Amino acid sequence: MSEECARSLPALTRMLSELRETTRLVAFVADQFGMDSFDAARDAGVSTRCLFMPMNLHALSLVLRLPDLAASVSGEFRDLAEPVQPVHLAKRYREADAILVNSFDAVEPEVAQVLRQPERGRPPVYPIGPLIRQSGVIPPSSPPRAACLEWLDRQPARSVIFVSFGSAGALPKEQTHQLALGLELSGQRFLWVVRSPSDEGTLSDNYYNAESNKDPFAYLPEGFLERTKDVGLLVPSWAPQTQVLAHMATGGFLTHCGWNSTLESLVHGVPMLAWPLFAEQRLNAVMLAEGVGAAIRLPERKDKETIASVVRELMVGEGKGAMVRVKVAELQNAAAEGLRDGGAATTALDEVVEKWEAEAN
């Protein structure tokens, strides 16, 4: 991703130069992969340069420590060009005048408290989230309402578990098979976004080749669709996730723990089953399940019996499932409070903007 950002720098430099002729540029905000664009902003005379972190505070904390971690291990990175991009970008994080993070204190209380304390050489950190796409905002050019939402209209309140692994995630063949049998065995209503597994069956292949011309339903157990037609709905490849999570019939979310999906689930008060696939998703899963208690994490062995058991626990269980449901409701309220006038998120963003305005004057 940072390579794409680097290739766009000449165009960005030209654009900022043109803007400078008619506009006083006060502040520049780059995302986590665009730190090298700070050079273009500096050349354009923009004195305030900020970083927007769409991931969470845990991830930010790790990135800020990455240069120290790299320096603490002797030796060289094999087969990697210098500078090593993750370390290079992490070093540049400290050049920002402020770091805006798409998270909120209640979901990461310990890390939020640590990052709130001033540290020499580290920019101030402002949690301004949760920032998500609003489920009720429908552009005029939008297609007709999705059929899966019509199906949800006919289901009892909080009775459906939504199963989706994000915009590009998929499972190996055998795991897809076990998930199907587990959902059936659970006896719970479900809405499942199904994708074709990769022929190789590795998680990385599944991620980078999630779009496929193959029929995803061809990989399901024989007779599964017929046996579950009264309690389940399967949709190929994609569903309007924010609208599904906002629907009154949705009572659970089996998720890969991508941060956007996590925030959408919390904003709409939907408890989660954590099934991370790769990257920071594992960190998110640990934080949600073991840290704040907003999810139940599936064990490493994910056979049909285990899947059925955790689905039932999340949806109707009176033990851990009940505690997760209560905690998610608390976090939903905390997220809403933070985004109101005078709330933590709006106050943090106001503080940043006030500094920009002061710079302009």
* Domains recognised in the chain with CATH numbers: 19-127 (3.40.50.2000), 147-337 (3.40.50.2000)
pLDDT tier for residue 309 given thresholds of 50, 70 and 90: very high
pLDDT range class, residue 319, cuts 50, 70, 90:
very high
The runs of H, that is alpha helices, within 94-223 are 109-116, 147-153, 173-186, 203-208
Q: Say if CB 159 and CB 249 are below 8 A apart.
A: yes
User: Does the pLDDT at position 243 exceed 90?
Assistant: yes
pLDDT (0 to 100) of residue 136: 60
In terms of Cα–Cα distance, which of 51, 82, 86 is closest to 67?
A: 86
For the segment 92-119, the average pLDDT, to the nearest whole number, is 96
Band (pLDDT 50/70/90 cuts) for residue 88 is confident
Q: Is 140's pLDDT higher than 80? A: no
Residues 174, 150: Cα–Cα separation, whole Å: 31
Q: What whole-number distance in Å separates Cα of residue 240 and Cα of residue 218?
A: 23
Residue 292: closest CA among 112, 53, 61, 158: 112
Task: Look at 87-91, 117-121, 256-260, 262-266 and tell me which has the smallest mean pLDDT.
Answer: 87-91
pTM, whole model, 2 decimals? 0.91
Scanning 95-208, the segments in alpha helix (DSSP H) are: 109-116, 147-153, 173-186, 203-208
Q: Answer yes or no: are the C-beta atoms of 130 and 104 closer than 8 Å.
A: yes
Q: What is the overall mean pLDDT for the chain?
A: 90
Portion of the chain with pLDDT greater than 90, in percent = 71
Identity of the residue numbered 218? A
Provide the pLDDT for residue 268. Answer: 98
Give 200's pLDDT tier (boundaries 50, 70, 90). Answer: very low
Radius of gyration of the chain measured on its C-alpha atoms: 22
